[in-house]
Chain A
């Protein structure tokens, strides 16, 4: 291996250490030391090589080499995340080779914060770094998925397994109501729009393999530098950079299979059970309506002898499959002293476990940094990606028919053709769900280019001006065609084909100009940041529907007899001033003060600018004399912060009252019309988040145990709220800043090296978060705020002052009316008969009335969530297990809106077989009789307490077993080699019948006001992968 020596140059050193801190070296009598740093697996790059007691230092290249000039007799400290620190005294010039043993994270690592980096010991805010070592080799499609279970206070709900979709991510609870609650993603310093609908996820356009580090900013002290966009937390993603030295080529490849676990599948009736149920229900109907005993001849023939039907068709099984997944990445890294480059290419392909779905990504990245002169650095990064998404399947069992379809008919006719229309007497006729998925054309493609460039100039020593220009350009289109062969619901005839074409493009640019000044004098050290930024985003899309295609021959809109559509064009602008000062006295007393002032085009002229200050204090107790000599304590720091950040995630023009088109026809002639479509509100402004954070960082037992704990109270004030207004105003809702929500919580993160032997090592990363949210104010009155809509049109959630946001509401089940005496005794609804559900008369008026007799039946928030990673190494073998979990949350299983539709038109869950049949045969008391007025059945399938389930779970998210060839294979060819097997989403241990991390993404409203509704979801697959990592 050829070594590459760095030149001894103050400027160059500074460059190499730019990830650490700016430093000054006063060269004295020096000697040159070189060497290689490696671990069991081979050379490791990025290791800090520091001169103890000074700020001098360097980092190792990608091949693990370093070169440094130091005063004779100084002590070199070798540090890296995930390894035990080592120290060596420099006795003479020459070579010092080091082998680091993996272990806990050293506290003096560099932490990435907004607009810069800080040494971990100097950090005063709540900032968490994702350990990339704990993430690698997981089967991940997008970087945000990597956050699951890694960091306290970051809740990742893997609500679906849609290829190209994503999880729901919440930092420290629900901080927004009318505005989006997604955290802000900052990629290489560029805040990019990345609002995920879970069904489609902009982050999936970023290749996770290119990521060097991920950091989450949580408290206001850390996020205030992002001002009006910081309230939901900030995820800072930095991509890999080139390192000087011999070029390194890395190849990683993995391939695997995905399957749908048995657990969580819908528990629906099979063909025989369904026929049996229909037979009984039909007979009960005659008994009830005509008061006589029916004969079997009166029942439709197919239901007379259920045992002849057998199992019938399990539609869920039919629309799901085992699907392949593969991921290949090739990267080159290297450079000279003045130019460094990282270039990578990636291909990712995930076929979906539901038929005809899939996601493919082609990505390239090139990051180049150069020193043009001693004082002038430039860099450019370009990362285009192409993605192709097939299918727009949401996994919604009603709309996509697989949950409601009649289980008696077969998928295919005997000749192998599709059975196109699925119906038996009395049920809805549905299109064949397999055919709907296979025959519908739904393809989307997207191209995105992220471009960053910067120039940094050092005017005088330690005063640097950095200007960046960033562009995020995206464009995409989609095609949809529904052929005539797919039947409509209750329409056995060929349908008229419809098609759609959409296209979109967006252009987002950002210019940031920051001035950095570092000063260290005596006991004082100061770093200051001053900045001015401008960001603009333009968005254009078009959506065109084609109707009345003659047939399926031509599927583009050219063949549509009628085309309708519209184009949409929007833009927003953001102008910001920002400043931050970090000050440390004696390296023990730390102060960080931040302020950002944002002006946004999204807010009315009366309320356009917002200012977000924050202040944080830190005290490194472990450096105080009274603790300095405590041998078991390595680091102990107390932190306190208070500050403000905001949320500007609302529509671009929400404050304006809109005049839209509304045409009329006078005597058949077109009369163009306009109308006012909403109420404007020129005072509309930011959501303001105000947060107090208290915490400590503690490292003990020779750096083997680190603990970070935070307590916070955050209030989101002036909530952006689409508040209900009386319809007598001519409008149903208006956008207002109303309300105040408090999230209060405690977070604890622990890293421990439990066993740290020569051959066997075991380390544990554990984090747990407790969060409680409470409505302090909502809307203009103290009245409850209702939200959501059940399939019967009643609200599903209520927000009451003093209670958590969006508690689940519905009827409270008190039993079933067993007989006439019950009916006489208890409140009832008009037309109730024995066998109907007996609900609680909440308002005490003696009658059961929809909505009026709703009460709170469930709390959708967990008491705590946790993540646990255990890593074990034995010689060349390594094993890692990641488990996540939550306790205390309840979910309204909204699929029951249709799987408990006991009209007999849909398939139903198995428990319907044990329904109330007579007083002597009352079943399990869960499902009522099918007889009687429609209202009894309708009330049963509306929200009620029988649909509420606890979701307590522990989900083994990943198990990875790997083997590393420590010295590579061959001497000059492979530097390192590793093979591994990995299982993603291994098993969920829970009593919940569906996905315990389900969200409301499949309901009409995804607002934070309607949490806790599981309307079924695209199954999250279990993924088995085999992979290899090689470096050459």
Chain B
């Protein structure tokens, strides 16, 4: 009888105490439902939004902004066709299934959605210091505006999503917003960010978005939308915030001089930290230069290689040329047709992001500039030239002077506009502005067609189908996956 009682007791005991077994908490991550509740969690989450922007740049964004333009191309390796889809970007052969375009689209939206999550939760969180809360909001507003600005320029009309997607059921149905509505939101965010942020940060906070960054963004938006009367005061305000040109142009890219007085906003990297390394020279270096340039065996990515037209763009005496482009001469290059133009065994590569030695393989240390003060000056000059108000030569010649070039003056309006476009090209080469500059100059088709003809002249492999620059190709196709899943309309003519 004892046994019976014992057995039944045991059974009942186990039945009652077991349901708590079903409440299992994760160990290796936090639950989303429990997060974004404290000031510290918000601090980490804001950092996390910044972190999402790194992969955009170490990924394919430069291919869509520099390689697509006349600034760079790639070193064709017959034996390695793995990057065909990226190469098709350069030659205007892409289709909506292009995986590079898809990649950039998803990365830009990743940043936007992570910002949306935090922006949606931050108001409910108690902060010891309300200024800090506003600062975080400002940073997120800036980051969101920046990504939408990229999107609207690359793709035109895109879904405009400003709130957290809480579950799979809400992930669909983001219809395309008009270009106007997207710009309105960017301006709203940029202005709010400017209001929430200080002009400059110091110390450990260097690298965060500032009021200067937000105002520069606002200025670029106004220039892009041809609202020059609004662009000029915005950019002029930036010139009052204590930024200036560095004496030595090359210092802008020196990893030892990150976040200097000319840097308004840059994507931050540090190869000493495990997850924070960039990859520039390893992606952009010449194919057979890995051992010589980095000290490691193997090959380099060999995309974003300066074109002959880029190499030739610098005026004689322009100190920026040697700071921006380096020549890699080696017998191994003889098999590449790209080397023919440079004498048979030379391939140029971007020097801005090349600072040896490299203590570890595939890890580079340079920040990626987004806005530098020189760009503020050149945009100011552009806005003045376009609107015919103010003195466009002032800021333009400041930039030229630093490059050891003489001042310009008295040009006709078209010549002046060309001179500013040219100055922007050489000053900001490989900083992911060229494609957007071509677009807003209205000369993209003309310049890219000429560039394509030049390329076809030099490179046998390019068929007649390449560089067929049509007006509709100035917008990228919406990635096929998006049009399929979300039932949104493809951009005109793309198929």
Flag if B461 contacts A675 (CB, 8 Å).
Answer: no
**Is there a chain A Cβ closer than 8 Å to B128's Cβ?**
no
Flag if B480 contacts A851 (CB, 8 Å).
Answer: yes
A376's closest neighbor in chain B, by CB?
A: B3
0/1 string, A657-674, CB within 8 A of B gives 1 = 111111111111111111
**Is there a chain B Cβ closer than 8 Å to A905's Cβ?**
yes
Flag if B206 contacts A659 (CB, 8 Å).
Answer: no
**Is there a chain A Cβ closer than 8 Å to B112's Cβ?**
yes
Flag if A496 contacts B361 (CB, 8 Å).
Answer: yes
Flag if B110 contacts A730 (CB, 8 Å).
Answer: yes
Q: Which of A494, A569, A934 contacts B28 (CB 8 A)?
A: A569
Flag if A659 contacts B32 (CB, 8 Å).
Answer: yes
**Is there a chain B Cβ closer than 8 Å to A426's Cβ?**
yes
Flag if B26 contacts A658 (CB, 8 Å).
Answer: yes
What class of interface size applies to chain A in its complex with B?
35 or more
Flag if A726 contacts B485 (CB, 8 Å).
Answer: yes
Flag if A467 contacts B172 (CB, 8 Å).
Answer: no
0/1 string, A736-777, CB within 8 A of B gives 1 = 100000000000000000000000000000000000000000
Contacts of B208 on A, CB cut-off 8 Å? 666
Flag if B167 contacts A681 (CB, 8 Å).
Answer: yes
**Is there a chain B Cβ closer than 8 Å to A410's Cβ?**
no
CA distance in complex: A210, B113 (Å): 56
**Chain A residues numbered 894-908 whose CB sits less than 8 Å from any CB in chain B:** 901, 903-905
Flag if A467 contacts B297 (CB, 8 Å).
Answer: no
Flag if A729 contacts B79 (CB, 8 Å).
Answer: no
**Is there a chain B Cβ closer than 8 Å to A573's Cβ?**
yes
A532's closest neighbor in chain B, by CB?
A: B15
**Is there a chain A Cβ closer than 8 Å to B102's Cβ?**
yes
Contacts of A414 on B, CB cut-off 8 Å? none
0/1 string, B84-110, CB within 8 A of A gives 1 = 110100000101010100100110011
Known: A564-B274, A573-B22. A725 touches B268 (CB 8 A): no
Flag if B4 contacts A492 (CB, 8 Å).
Answer: no
CA distance in complex: A934, B81 (Å): 8
Contacts of B110 on A, CB cut-off 8 Å? 727, 730-731
**Chain A residues numbered 513-558 whose CB sits less than 8 Å from any CB in chain B:** 513, 532, 534, 536, 548
CA distance in complex: A465, B5 (Å): 12
Contacts of A830 on B, CB cut-off 8 Å? 93, 463, 465, 468
Contacts of B171 on A, CB cut-off 8 Å? 679, 725-726, 729, 731, 734
A513's closest neighbor in chain B, by CB?
A: B11
**Is there a chain A Cβ closer than 8 Å to B124's Cβ?**
no
Q: Which of B15, B27, B84, B258 contacts A935 (CB 8 A)?
A: B84
Flag if A727 contacts B31 (CB, 8 Å).
Answer: no
**Is there a chain B Cβ closer than 8 Å to A317's Cβ?**
no
Contacts of B204 on A, CB cut-off 8 Å? 666-667, 669
Give the shortest distance, in Å, between A730 (CB) and chain B (any CB): 3
Contacts of B324 on A, CB cut-off 8 Å? none
**Is there a chain A Cβ closer than 8 Å to B7's Cβ?**
yes
Flag if B4 contacts A675 (CB, 8 Å).
Answer: no
**Is there a chain B Cβ closer than 8 Å to A676's Cβ?**
yes
CA distance in complex: A492, B332 (Å): 14
Contacts of A731 on B, CB cut-off 8 Å? 110, 113, 165, 171
Flag if A727 contacts B22 (CB, 8 Å).
Answer: no
CA distance in complex: A723, B171 (Å): 11
Give the shortest distance, in Å, between A929 (CB) and chain B (any CB): 14
CA distance in complex: A600, B19 (Å): 9
CA distance in complex: A162, B41 (Å): 47
Contacts of B480 on A, CB cut-off 8 Å? 851-852
CA distance in complex: A289, B78 (Å): 13
CA distance in complex: A36, B53 (Å): 81
CA distance in complex: A457, B468 (Å): 85
**Is there a chain A Cβ closer than 8 Å to B457's Cβ?**
no
Q: Which of B4, B27, B275 contacts A569 (CB 8 A)?
A: B27
**Is there a chain A Cβ closer than 8 Å to B312's Cβ?**
no
Flag if B85 contacts A663 (CB, 8 Å).
Answer: no
Flag if A659 contacts B495 (CB, 8 Å).
Answer: no
What class of interface size applies to chain B in its complex with A?
35 or more
Known: A679-B167, A734-B171. A562 touches B360 (CB 8 A): yes
Known: A573-B21, A600-B22. A903 touches B174 (CB 8 A): no
* B22, B23, B45 pick with most chain A CB within 10 angstroms: B22
**Chain A residues numbered 798-845 whose CB sits less than 8 Å from any CB in chain B:** 830-831, 845
Flag if A575 contacts B31 (CB, 8 Å).
Answer: no
Flag if A675 contacts B52 (CB, 8 Å).
Answer: yes
Contacts of B60 on A, CB cut-off 8 Å? none
CA distance in complex: A548, B360 (Å): 8
Flag if B207 contacts A780 (CB, 8 Å).
Answer: no
Contacts of B3 on A, CB cut-off 8 Å? 376, 457
**Chain B residues numbered 276-314 whose CB sits less than 8 Å from any CB in chain A:** 276, 290-291, 296-299
Contacts of A904 on B, CB cut-off 8 Å? 78-79
CA distance in complex: A667, B273 (Å): 12
Give the shortest distance, in Å, between A56 (CB) and chain B (any CB): 28
Contacts of B29 on A, CB cut-off 8 Å? 653, 658-660, 677
Give the shortest distance, in Å, between A458 (CB) and chain B (any CB): 10
Flag if A608 contacts B258 (CB, 8 Å).
Answer: no
Flag if B32 contacts A575 (CB, 8 Å).
Answer: no
Give the shortest distance, in Å, between B327 (CB) and chain A (any CB): 23
Contacts of A569 on B, CB cut-off 8 Å? 27-28
Contacts of A133 on B, CB cut-off 8 Å? none
A783's closest neighbor in chain B, by CB?
A: B484
0/1 string, A674-689, CB within 8 A of B gives 1 = 1111011100000000
Flag if B18 contacts A575 (CB, 8 Å).
Answer: yes
**Is there a chain B Cβ closer than 8 Å to A963's Cβ?**
no
Flag if B31 contacts A659 (CB, 8 Å).
Answer: yes
**Is there a chain B Cβ closer than 8 Å to A656's Cβ?**
yes
Give the shortest distance, in Å, between A448 (CB) and chain B (any CB): 23
Contacts of B165 on A, CB cut-off 8 Å? 679, 729-731
Give the shortest distance, in Å, between A148 (CB) and chain B (any CB): 37
CA distance in complex: A671, B51 (Å): 9
Give the shortest distance, in Å, between B12 (CB) and chain A (any CB): 10
**Is there a chain A Cβ closer than 8 Å to B35's Cβ?**
yes
**Is there a chain A Cβ closer than 8 Å to B245's Cβ?**
no
**Is there a chain A Cβ closer than 8 Å to B47's Cβ?**
yes
A791's closest neighbor in chain B, by CB?
A: B82
Known: A667-B206, A830-B465. A938 touches B7 (CB 8 A): no
B103's closest neighbor in chain A, by CB?
A: A727
Give the shortest distance, in Å, between A776 (CB) and chain B (any CB): 20
**Is there a chain A Cβ closer than 8 Å to B233's Cβ?**
no
Known: A662-B51, A675-B51, A726-B172. A667 touches B268 (CB 8 A): yes
**Is there a chain B Cβ closer than 8 Å to A862's Cβ?**
no
Flag if B7 contacts A467 (CB, 8 Å).
Answer: yes
CA distance in complex: A656, B48 (Å): 19
Flag if B48 contacts A664 (CB, 8 Å).
Answer: yes
16 A-B interface contacts by CB (under 8 A): A465-B7, A496-B361, A534-B18, A548-B361, A659-B35, A661-B48, A669-B270, A670-B270, A672-B44, A674-B35, A674-B44, A725-B172, A726-B174, A730-B165, A783-B485, A793-B99
Given contacts A534-B21, A575-B21, A675-B52, 11 further A-B contacts (CB under 8 A): A289-B460, A491-B290, A495-B297, A665-B273, A666-B204, A668-B258, A673-B45, A728-B174, A730-B112, A831-B464, A933-B461
Chain B contact residues, CB within 8 Å of chain A? 3-4, 7, 10-11, 14-15, 18-19, 21-24, 26-33, 35, 41, 44-52, 54, 78-81, 84-85, 87, 93, 95, 97, 99, 102, 105-106, 109-110, 112-114, 116-117, 158-159, 161, 165-168, 170-172, 174, 203-208, 258-259, 268-270, 272-276, 290-291, 296-299, 360-361, 460-461, 463-466, 468, 479-482, 484-486, 495
Q: Which 9 A-B pairs have the closest CB atoms?
A: A730-B113, A657-B32, A673-B47, A493-B297, A673-B48, A830-B465, A573-B21, A729-B171, A734-B168
Chain A contact residues, CB within 8 Å of chain B? 289-290, 376, 426-428, 457, 459, 465, 467, 488, 490-496, 511, 513, 532, 534, 536, 548, 562, 564, 566-575, 599-601, 608, 652-653, 656-677, 679-681, 723-732, 734-736, 780, 783, 792-794, 830-831, 845, 847, 849-852, 901, 903-905, 933-935, 937-938
